Structure formats: structure tokens, C-alpha cells
């Protein structure tokens, strides 16, 4: 009869012995996580609810929001031709990035490979535009794209070709998105290339050599060995690139403000114009929420779809 | 004869792709560098030279444009504001992220995965999406027109990515070290402060360098929060200057060069840290 009591006494005393440590650990955990959660709740979660509240009002930011209009803001956004244009332009940038910018970065990363002499030099140069701020990038390229050949370098080169006239570039409704995409590629392909180069470093050289010995040519090796093994890196760059394209703002704002005639409007410039130029904060909140939903839908679907076996992890 | 022939053919076969590789890489190097070089050259010309020969090297170099910018007090104010915002948000990101990632990598508690996944949700919406809602909250807090608000917002949006990077580094520290420290009577905080932090210094340098660059170049947060021009950071000032002096391209070029220079120099020195931070985040994530 006594034995279990001794046992439970023993356990109790042991718990008592350990509990100060436990309590201390719990305090540590809470204190250590607190700052991160405060930032998260205060600047990510709470703002969304606040925007959700104001999105139901017609509010210009002065005084309290009193003019409740229900979902009218959302109705107006989704039927506004300019916003639709913005969404389409964002999608255009997404498609172009995935079809041109990422493949270019991947091709260059494979070309530089693991052991090309001067590899570090090229990496330093190619990544440099990423470090230059968007404002500066925008200003530099605005002057390069200047329609006057006396001032714009690209037109100065173009007029050297016989029969070619100076182009309007950023001032031309049909050229402006292409120009913006050139600048985006200039600035961001280095980031993706850097990530691919790091991914390549993680792939054992032997795997590619084995494929070569088995008679695969260079192209087959890249297609069937290298690229599948880069899977997780490629997934990351696709996600970065799509989210970046959907929310592109500074470069376009600096270079065109969404013009000419809304030809380069994207969701973010639309949101900025309504929120901070026209100061329709209720409407701007609604635009921000629509953007947020679009980004979340993409992220969630993509994470679902792209969860593929991690080949490298299984080696 | 035959051997010499095959030898020669072999070297050609090997050298030729190399030649094209370097050719392609050099062309791209030119495309990257020419815009930057044109700007730096332009800044070294007088206004007249800039108009007459915009694309020639600046010989002799005129340093007046740079001198004029450097003698403008507002340039130094903006530089100072940028430095304050950068140091503030970098310090906060380092503190908040190292505390949190230590907990996630080294402590056991219920709901750990959930808490971590919640905190890295921020990766799903970039700051552009959230800036309008964040503006509403900053306004409610009465922090419009303060550098503190810029620092807090930049920190908040730096947490998710850096947490992911840092947790990876923290997890890589061998568990035995922690056991040994605990056996010797070290508290969790003591282990974190005295043993772990010194060990992950390279990782801290990596996310520090990354955060510094991102904060330095950030345009949207200060644009929305700061109205007073005495509080402007360099990106805002650069945009404003370009608008105001767009006719004087040489002077604009000097301003742009001077505001780009700190980031580029910092990059050349801290490239290793920046690269390791970025790649750790991308490959582990």
C-alpha cells in the first residue's frame, strides 16, 4: 500500500525540483516571442482589419468615417476599367518574368556553372543592380529612354541604324510596358541568377557526370538532371518573382506614374493614387484588400500546387 | 601528325564554347554597367558639356556638381535620416528575429510549428500590398511624420524573411552544446546570450547586411509616412531633386550618384554576407 504513495511522492518531488526550470523556460519562451508577435499583430493583422472597416465607407481621411456605403467600393473597383488594366498589366509582367527573366537567369547561372574562371566577378556585377535603389534605377533608365537622341542613350544608338527613327519609349502607350519590363529585368535577373548559382552549388557534380557517362548530351543532362534538382530553388524564385510582379510600385511610379493614359497602370499605382493623391482612403483601403486577396490566392494555390518531392533532400 | 591534329581539334572544341560563354557574359556585363557608367560620367561634366556630348568620357573631369551637392545642407539631412532609419530597423530586426528564432530552433513548446507558420505569413504579402492599411494604423497611433514609424514598419516587414533565415542557422548548432550548457547550470537565456549568439555571428551579419540594404533603398514606407521634407530619406530626396532639377541633367546625375554610392560601396564590402543571407533564405525556404 505504501509503495505507490512513495512513488507519487517521488514523482511530485521530482516535479517540484524541475518546475522552477520549467516556469523559467515558459517565461523565456513568452518573452522571446512577444516582440515578434507584437510587430506581427500591430503592423500586419490589425491593419488588415482596420482597412476592412474603412473599405466599407466613403471616407476622405478627414474626421470620422460616417458615410457607410457597404460593398460599393469593391463594386466600383472591379468594374473600373483602369483597375482592370492594372491587373492585366501586372499579369503581363508576371508572364514576361516567368517566360523571359527567370529562364535568362537560369541559363546564365548554368553557363557560369560551378567553376568558370571569373565566376565571382560576373556574379558581383550581375547582382549590382539589385543593390541600387528602385528610385535611382528609375531615374537612370528614364534618361536612357529619353525620346530625344541628344539626351537618351538608347535613341542615340537607334538613330545610328539607317532607317530607324527615335522612339518615344516611355511616352508611347504601346512601348511603355516593354520598356518597364526591360528595366525590371535589368534590376532583378541578378537576384534570381544568384539564387540559381547557389542552388547549383548544392547539386553534387557526380550526378551530372553520371548522366554524361550514361550517354546523355549536355542539353539532356541539364533538362533531366540539373533542372529537376534545382526544383526547390526554382519554386522559390517563381514565388518571389510573381509576388514582386503583382506588387511592383516604385519603378513604375518614378518612371511613368502609370501613364501615358493609364497604359502602364498596375494595381499598386492605382492603390497609391486613390489613397495618397486623391485621398479617398476608404476606396484605397478596398483596393489594398483586393490586392491582398489576389496575392494570398496566388500564394496559397502555388504552395499547394508546387509542393513536389524534394529530390535533393532524398539523396 | 594525326595526334597533333586531334589535339588541336580538342582544344578548339573546348575553347570555343568558353569563348562564347565569355562573349555572352561580357555583353551582359556591358548592359549592366553602361547605364551606371553614363550616370557617373554625366555627373562629372558641366551642364553645357552634358548637352553637347552626353556620352563621351568626362575629360577633364569637373567635380563642381559633386561639390555643389555636398555643400547642400539638405543632402546631409537626408543622408542622416536614411542612416537613422537604417540603423534603427536593422538593430530591431536583429533583436526581434534572433530572440524569436532562438525560441523556434531551441525550445520545446506546444503550438511551435503553428506559431512559426503564423510569423512567416508575412512572406505572402509584400509591403506594397499592406502599406495602405499600415498607413491607417500609423496615423491612428499618431506616428505620421516620424522616423520611428518608418523604423517600426520596416522592422515589421523584415521579420518573416529573416526569421526563416535565422532559424535555419540556429538549428544547425549542435544540440550537445545546449545539453552541456544546461548541465553546467546555464539558463535558457544564458545559453542564448553567452553561447549561441557569438556562434551565429556570421548569420547575424548576413541578415544585418540584407536589412541595411533593404532599409536604405526603401521608397514606399517613407513616401507614405513622411511628409515633412526635413525628415525625408535619400530615396525620397532623390526623387524630389530629379523632379526639381530635371533640366540640369549633370547635377541630377551627381545627386543620384552620391545617393547610390553608399549602397554600392557597402555591397562591394559586404557581398559575401548579403549573398549568404539571400541564398540561405531561398534554399532552405
**Residue at B175 is within a domain:** yes
Q: Quick check: is A175 in a domain?
A: no
- Band of residue A1 on the pLDDT scale cut at 50, 70, 90: very low
Q: Which among B55, B133, B260 has the least Cβ separation from residue A288? A: B133
Q: What is the dihedral of CA B194, B199, B205, B210, to 10 degrees?
A: -100
Q: Which residues 6+ apart lie within 8 Å of A42 measured at CB?
A: B137, B156
**CATH number (domain holding residue A91):** 1.10.3720.10
Are A205 and A287 found together in one domain? yes
Query: Rounded to whole angstroms, how far apart are CA atoms B162 and B214?
Result: 12
Q: Identify whether residues B219 and B275 lie together within a single domain.
A: yes
How many percent of chain B have pLDDT more than 90? 38
CATH classification at residue B145: 1.10.3720.10
Judging contacts by C-beta atoms under 8 Å, the chain B residues touching residue A31 are 99
Q: Is the pLDDT of residue B64 over 50?
A: yes
CB A100 within 8 A of CB A212: no
In Å, how far is A32's CA from the nearest CA of chain B?
A: 5
Of A227 and B222, the one with more pLDDT: B222
Distance of residue B1 Cα from the nearest chain A Cα, in angstroms: 29
**Start-to-end CA span in chain A (Å):** 57
Name chain A contacts of B206, Cβ cutoff 8 Å: none
B69 pLDDT more than 90: no
pLDDT for A54-72, tens place per residue?
Answer: 999 998 878 777 888 888 9
Residue A212 Rama label (left phi>0; alpha psi -120 to 50; beta) = alpha
Query: Are the C-beta atoms of A234 and A227 separated by less than 8 Å?
Result: yes
CB B29 within 8 A of CB A122: yes
**pLDDT at site A168:** 85
* Same structural domain, A31 and A83: no
The rounded radius of gyration (Å) of the Cα atoms in chain B is 25
- Asked whether residue A310 carries a pLDDT value surpassing 80, the answer given is no
Reported ipTM: the value is 0.87
Q: For residues B180, B183, B189 and B193, what is the CA-based torsion angle, rounded to 10 degrees?
A: -40
Nearest to B236 by CA among B248, B247, B227: B227
Query: Is the model's pTM score more than 0.80?
Result: yes
Query: Average pLDDT for residues B100-123, to the nearest whole number?
Result: 88
Q: How far apart are CA B219 and CA B224, in angstroms?
A: 9
Neighbouring CB atoms inside 10 A of A273's CB total: 18
Catalogue the long-range contacts made by A208-216 (C-beta closer than 8 Å, 24 or more residues apart): none
- Cβ atoms within 10 Å, residue A240: 21
Summary mean pLDDT of chain B = 86
Residue at B29 is within a domain: yes
Rounded to whole angstroms, the Cα distance separating A90 from A259 reads: 14
Residues B111, B212, single domain; the answer is yes
Would the CB atoms of A32 and B224 count as touching at under 8 Å?
no
Which residues in chain B have Cβ-Cβ distances shorter than 8 Å to A139?
238-239, 242, 252, 256
Contacts of B132 in chain A (CB under 8 A): 51, 271, 275, 281, 284-285, 287-288
Cα–Cα distance between B194 and B178 in angstroms, integer? Answer: 11
- In-domain check, residue B63: no
B45-63 confidence digits (pLDDT tens): 877 777 666 677 777 778 8
Write phi, then psi, for A57 (nearest 5 degrees).
-120, 155
Q: Are B126 and A244 in contact (CB under 8 A)?
A: yes
* B33 plus B114 within the same structural domain: no
**What are the DSSP E strand ranges found in A35-80?**
none
Residue of A131, A135, A292 lying closest to B239 (CB–CB): A135
Q: Assess whether B176 and B110 both reside in one domain.
A: yes
Which contacts (CB < 8 Å, 24+ apart) does range A63-66 have?
A65/A282
SS3 string of A176-197?
A: HHHHHHHHHHHHHHHHHHHHHH
pLDDT reading at B215 higher than 90: yes
CA A251 vs CA A255, B130, B245: distances in Å: 6, 18, 19
Give the model's pLDDT for residue A183.
Answer: 95
Which residue in B166, B163, B153, B154 sits closest to B120, CA to CA?
B163
Mean pLDDT of B120-145: 89
Task: Give yes or no for B159 touching A (CB within 8 A).
Answer: yes
pLDDT at residue A56 in the model: 93
Is residue A63 included in any domain, yes or no? no
Question: Are residues B219 and B170 located together in one domain of the fold?
Answer: yes
CA dist B54 and B47 (Å) reads: 10
Please indicate, yes or no, if residue A59 is contained in any of the structural domains: no
pLDDT per position as a tens digit, A153-166: 888 888 888 888 88
The pLDDT-based confidence of A2 (bands split at 50, 70, 90) is: very low
What percent of chain A lies above the pLDDT cut of 70? Answer: 90
Q: What is the mean pLDDT of residues A253-257?
A: 92
The answer to whether residue B245 is domain-embedded is: no
Q: Which residue of A has its CA nearest to B279?
A: A195
Query: Of B233, B203, B198, nearest to B94 (Cα)?
Result: B203
Distance from C-alpha of A308 to C-alpha of A238, rounded to nearest angstrom: 14
Per CB-CB distance under 8 Å, the chain A contacts of B96 are 35-36, 39
Q: Does A50 lie at the interface with B, CB-CB under 8 angstroms? A: yes
* A36 vs B96, B128, B129: nearest CB: B96
Looking at the fold, whether A35 and A103 belong to one and the same domain comes out as no
Tell me chain A's radius of gyration from C-alpha atoms: 27
* Same domain flag for B38 and B79: no
Interface of A with B in 103-162 (CB under 8 A): 108, 111-112, 116, 118, 122-129, 131-136, 139-141, 143-144, 150-151, 153, 156
Cα B54 to chain centroid, rounded = 31
Alpha-carbon distance of B77 to B241, in angstroms, equals 14
Domain membership of residue A34 as a residue range? 19-46
Residue B274 resides in a domain: yes
Alpha carbon B31 to chain centroid, angstroms: 22
Same domain, B91 and B223: yes
CA dist list (Å): A174 to A59, A147, A209, A286, B115: 35, 14, 47, 29, 47
Structural domains counted in chain B: 2
Assess whether A200 and A282 both reside in one domain: yes
Q: Which residue of A has its CA nearest to B95?
A: A35
Per DSSP, helices labelled H in chain B are: 2-43, 47-52, 64-70, 73-106, 112-119, 127-140, 147-171, 175-183, 188-190, 197-199, 201-217, 220-225, 234-244, 249-284
Q: DSSP readout, B193-236?
A: IIIIHHHTHHHHHHHHHHHHHHHHH--HHHHHH--STTS--HHH
- Number of domains making up chain A: 2
A194 and A255 both lie in a single domain? yes
- A112-167, pLDDT tens digit by residue? 877 788 888 998 999 999 999 999 999 999 988 988 887 788 888 888 888 888 88
Contact B217 A134 (CB under 8 A): yes
Same domain, B194 and B80: yes
CA–CA distance, B229 with B237 (Å, rounded to integer):
8
**Whether residues B129 and B192 fall in one domain:** yes
For residues A45 and A40, give the distance between their C-alpha atoms in angstroms, rounded to a whole number.
7
Chain A partners within 8 Å of B279 (Cβ): 194-195, 198
- Is A98 buried (19+), middle (13-18) or exposed (0-12) by CB count in 10 A? middle
| B242–chain A Cβ distance below 8 A for any pair | yes
Burial of B73 (0-12, 13-18, 19+ CB in 10 A): exposed
Give residues with Cβ within 8 angstroms of A294, minimum separation 6: A87, A246, A267
Q: Can you tell me the distance from the alpha carbon of B184 to that of A286, in angstroms, rounded to the nearest whole number?
A: 57
Question: What sign does the CA torsion over B32, B34, B37, B43 have?
Answer: negative
Per the structure, the complete domain to which residue B38 belongs is given by 2-43
A297 touches chain B (CB under 8 A): no
Query: Is position B23 within any domain?
Result: yes
Amino acid at each position: 500500500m505504501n509503495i505507490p504513495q512513495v512513488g507519487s511522492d517521488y514523482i511530485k518531488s521530482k516535479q517540484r525540483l524541475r518546475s522552477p526550470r520549467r516556469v523559467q523556460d515558459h517565461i523565456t519562451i513568452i518573452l522571446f516571442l512577444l516582440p515578434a508577435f507584437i510587430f506581427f499583430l500591430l503592423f500586419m493583422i490589425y491593419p488588415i482589419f482596420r482597412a476592412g472597416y474603412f473599405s466599407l465607407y466613403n471616407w476622405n481621411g478627414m474626421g470620422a468615417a460616417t458615410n457607410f456605403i457597404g460593398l460599393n467600393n469593391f463594386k466600383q473597383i472591379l468594374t473600373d476599367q483602369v483597375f482592370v488594366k492594372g491587373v492585366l498589366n501586372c499579369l503581363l509582367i508576371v508572364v514576361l518574368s516567368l517566360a523571359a527573366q527567370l529562364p535568362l537567369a537560369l541559363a546564365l547561372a548554368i553557363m557560369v556553372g560551378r567553376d568558370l574562371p571569373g565566376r565571382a566577378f560576373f556574379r558581383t556585377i550581375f547582382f549590382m543592380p539589385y543593390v541600387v535603389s528602385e528610385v535611382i534605377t528609375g531615374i537612370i533608365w528614364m534618361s536612357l529612354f529619353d525620346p530625344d537622341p541628344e539626351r537618351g542613350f538608347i535613341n542615340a544608338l537607334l538613330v545610328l541604324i539607317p532607317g530607324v527613327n527615335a522612339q518615344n519609349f516611355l511616352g508611347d502607350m504601346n512601348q511603355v510596358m516593354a520598356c518597364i519590363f526591360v528595366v525590371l529585368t535589368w534590376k532583378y535577373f541578378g537576384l534570381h541568377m544568384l539564387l540559381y548559382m547557389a542552388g547549383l552549388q548544392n547539386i553534387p557534380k557526380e550526378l551530372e557526370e553520371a548522366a554524361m557517362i550514361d550517354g546523355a548530351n549536355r542539353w539532356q543532362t541539364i533538362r533531366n538532371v540539373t533542372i529537376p534538382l534545382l526544383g526547390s530553388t526554382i519554386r522559390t524564385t517563381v514565388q518571389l518573382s510573381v509576388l514582386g510582379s503583382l506588387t511592383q510600385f516604385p519603378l513604375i511610379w518614378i518612371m511613368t506614374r502609370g501613364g501615358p493614359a493609364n497604359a502602364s497602370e498596375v494595381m499598386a499605382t492605382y492603390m497609391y493614387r486613390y489613397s495618397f493623391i486623391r485621398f479617398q482612403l476608404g476606396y484605397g483601403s478596398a483596393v489594398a484588400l483586393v490586392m491582398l486577396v489576389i496575392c494570398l490566392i496566388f500564394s496559397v494555390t502555388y504552395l499547394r500546387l508546387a509542393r513536389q518531392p524534394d529530390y535533393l533532400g532524398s539523396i | 601528325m594525326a595526334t597533333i591534329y586531334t589535339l588541336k581539334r580538342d582544344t578548339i572544341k573546348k575553347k570555343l564554347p568558353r569563348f562564347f560563354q565569355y562573349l555572352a557574359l561580357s555583353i551582359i556585363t556591358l548592359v549592366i554597367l553602361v547605364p551606371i557608367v553614363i550616370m557617373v560620367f554625366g555627373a562629372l561634366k558641366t551642364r553645357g558639356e552634358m548637352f553637347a556630348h552626353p556620352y563621351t568620357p568626362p575629360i577633364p573631369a569637373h567635380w563642381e556638381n559633386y561639390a555643389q551637392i555636398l555643400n547642400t545642407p539638405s543632402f546631409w539631412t537626408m543622408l542622416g535620416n536614411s542612416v537613422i532609419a537604417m540603423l534603427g530597423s536593422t538593430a530591431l530586426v536583429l533583436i526581434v528575429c534572433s530572440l524569436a528564432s532562438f525560441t523556434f530552433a531551441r525550445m520545446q513548446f506546444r503550438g511551435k510549428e503553428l506559431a512559426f507558420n503564423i510569423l512567416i505569413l508575412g512572406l505572402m504579402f509584400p509591403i506594397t500590398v499592406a502599406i495602405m492599411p499600415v498607413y491607417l494604423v500609423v496615423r491612428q497611433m499618431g506616428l505620421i511624420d516620424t522616423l520611428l514609424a518608418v523604423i517600426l514598419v520596416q522592422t515589421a516587414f523584415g521579420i518573416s524573411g529573416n526569421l526563416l533565415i535565422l532559424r535555419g542557422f540556429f538549428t544547425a548548432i549542435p544540440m550537445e552544446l545546449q545539453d552541456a550548457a544546461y548541465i553546467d547550470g546555464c539558463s535558457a537565456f544564458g545559453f542564448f546570450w553567452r553561447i549561441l549568439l557569438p556562434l551565429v555571428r556570421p548569420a547575424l551579419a548576413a541578415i544585418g547586411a540584407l536589412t541595411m540594404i533593404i532599409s536604405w533603398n526603401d521608397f514606399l514606407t517613407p513616401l507614405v509616412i513622411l511628409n515633412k521634407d526635413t525628415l525625408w530619406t535619400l530615396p525620397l530626396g532623390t526623387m524630389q531633386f530629379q523632379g526639381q532639377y530635371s533640366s540640369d541633367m549633370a547635377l541630377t546625375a551627381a545627386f543620384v550618384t552620391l545617393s547610390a554610392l553608399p549602397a554600392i560601396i557597402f555591397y562591394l564590402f559586404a557581398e559575401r554576407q548579403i549573398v549568404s543571407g539571400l541564398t540561405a533564405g531561398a534554399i532552405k525556404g
